[in-house]
Amino acid sequence: MWIFSRKGSSGFSSSSTAEEVTQGIDGTALTAIVTGASSGIGSETARVLALRGVHVTMAVRNMAAGRDVKEAIVKEITGAKVDVMELDLCSMASIRKFTSEFNTKSLPLNLLVYSSFGAYGQSKLANILHANELAKRFKEDNVNITANSLHPGVIDTNLFRYNGIINGLTQKLGRFVFKNVQQPLSLEIIIVRALERSKEKMGLFSRKGPSGFSSSSTAEEVSHGIDGTGLTAIVTGASSGIGAETARVLALRGVHVIMAVRNMAAGRDIKDAIVKEIPGAKVDVMELDLTSMASVRQFASNFNAQGLPLNLLINNAGIMATPFMLSKDNIEVQFATNHIGHFLLTSLLLDTMKKTARGSSREGRIVNVSSYGYKFAYREGIRFDKINDQSGYSGFGAYGQSKLANILHANELAKQFKEAEVNITANSLHPGAIVTNLTRYNSILDGFIHMFGKFMFKNVQQGAATTCYVALHPQVNGISGEYFSDSNLTKANAQATNVELAKRLWDFSMDLVK
């Protein structure tokens, strides 16, 4: 913690609070406007300025919330001078109205604090450039006003309320790695705190479940000693991330691996690396674009024509939090890629899997790589009547919907296999939070994960562990229609285990792939 409290040239550090940095300062006779003062650091700024005697005008969009903050300040600080005025920075009309009303009061204005946050990176750069240009003009005109910008640090506030996954991360991890609203912050502290927290929690991270494995177990560890010779597996999305690691470890255990990939060049590179590392590895690369039903049908036709057996089907490929767009078959692209493509692929390969299971007397296994993100699905779970409706579209909601579909698909398959007494199991899993290219469509989340992922998240070797465990381990024999995480059985929520919803999704999907 010495880095966290190390003082800079000002005599303060990133652990200093707003009260500490203003201790002994008399702000009496000063007047300030603070935008975004109804919550977070804006409200704390207003409180501390009032504490130092400043007459504070809170410029807020939510007047009810603003009044609540004002009442709390006045209750705490006897004689505090605080006003609340409405300001919506999204509306120029509102801005003009606010300034007109403020100017008509003939109040002085010494401090103007822009605290509210809107659209991000570009707007934050604009904040700095705006302050710099103001400072330049004030200097040229000999005006006794200064203009500066600042980074408050990374704080657990409601700033991420429009971004479900990041909001979930900050709410869960914020108290460990982020500053409170009283502290001015610095980014490097996140790393320090994350490292400290990871050391504290290492025991929990490596705590083994009933399977004998934990979230820190790797794909090689969970498959150690397993002989996959004679098995054939298809792994979708095997050209990168956990798909590539899954293919590598299966090949290491003697499995004949078919890498089903969209990017053939990347797929060949992975194959070359596997074959170079593992002499005698049996790896093939075949083209598959899950956004195209024609490509899925072509892949299945080409595979079935080879007369190969098929013991393991690992539906791993996926995309996450994309902007709204349609697939080549005019289906919302996340639902098309993550669910419909795999649904059709599985259907077209089932006869081969059944034939293999009968002929080999070895259990076939279908593994759907879902995600904890299924909990971010739309409230109704699957928007059957609005799959392609852009209105109300949420990148994370659509991702959650597709991941929920992965679980429901596996559950319905398991039910049908049991009823037909077919020797094939179907399960789904959460691989863990992993630093891969899955978040490439969301710049803030992608930057967050790649900056701090090595401290908070699994690596690819750990991320592929649950997939390899469910695909290969004898402990999973006969288990079907279940959900796994950290190479252990875990419970999915009521929506993910809803039998009627699973059947409705099956029928809906069948209609789409006709």
Residues with active-site annotation = 393
CA distance 113 to 385: 46
CA distance 287 to 264: 6
Q: In this structure, which amino acid lies at residue 316?
A: N
Query: What torsion, rounded to 10 degrees, do the Cα atoms 448, 454, 457, 459 define?
Result: 130
Residue 58 pairs in a beta bridge with 34, 84
Q: Enumerate long-range contacts of 139-146, CB under 8 Å, 24 or more apart.
A: none
Q: CA nearest 318: which of 298, 299, 291, 295?
A: 291
* Beta-carbon contacts of residue 359 (< 8 Å; ≥ 6 apart): 309
Number of neighbouring beta carbons within 10 Å of residue 102: 18
CA distance 83 to 57: 5
Q: In this structure, which amino acid lies at residue 183?
A: Q
Q: Where are the beta strands (DSSP E) in 251-302?
A: 256-261, 283-287
CA distance 437 to 241: 7
* 399 φ/ψ angles, rounded to the nearest 5 degrees: -65, -50
* Beta-carbon contacts of residue 468 (< 8 Å; ≥ 6 apart): 219, 222, 223, 246, 249, 250
DSSP, residue by residue, 203-250: HHHT---TTS--TT--HHHHTTT---TT-EEEEETTTSHHHHHHHHHH
Q: CA nearest 239: which of 269, 210, 209?
A: 269
Specify whether the CB–CB gap between 238 and 244 falls below 8 A: yes
Distances (CA, A) of 105 to 57, 129, 296: 12, 30, 69
Specify whether the CB–CB gap between 207 and 216 falls below 8 A: no
DSSP, residue by residue, 125-166: HHHHHHHHHHHHHHHHTT-S----------B-SGGGTT-HHH
> Measured at the alpha carbon of residue 32, what is the angle toward residues 27 and 36, in degrees to the nearest 5?
130
Distances (CA, A) of 214 to 205, 457, 512: 7, 14, 39
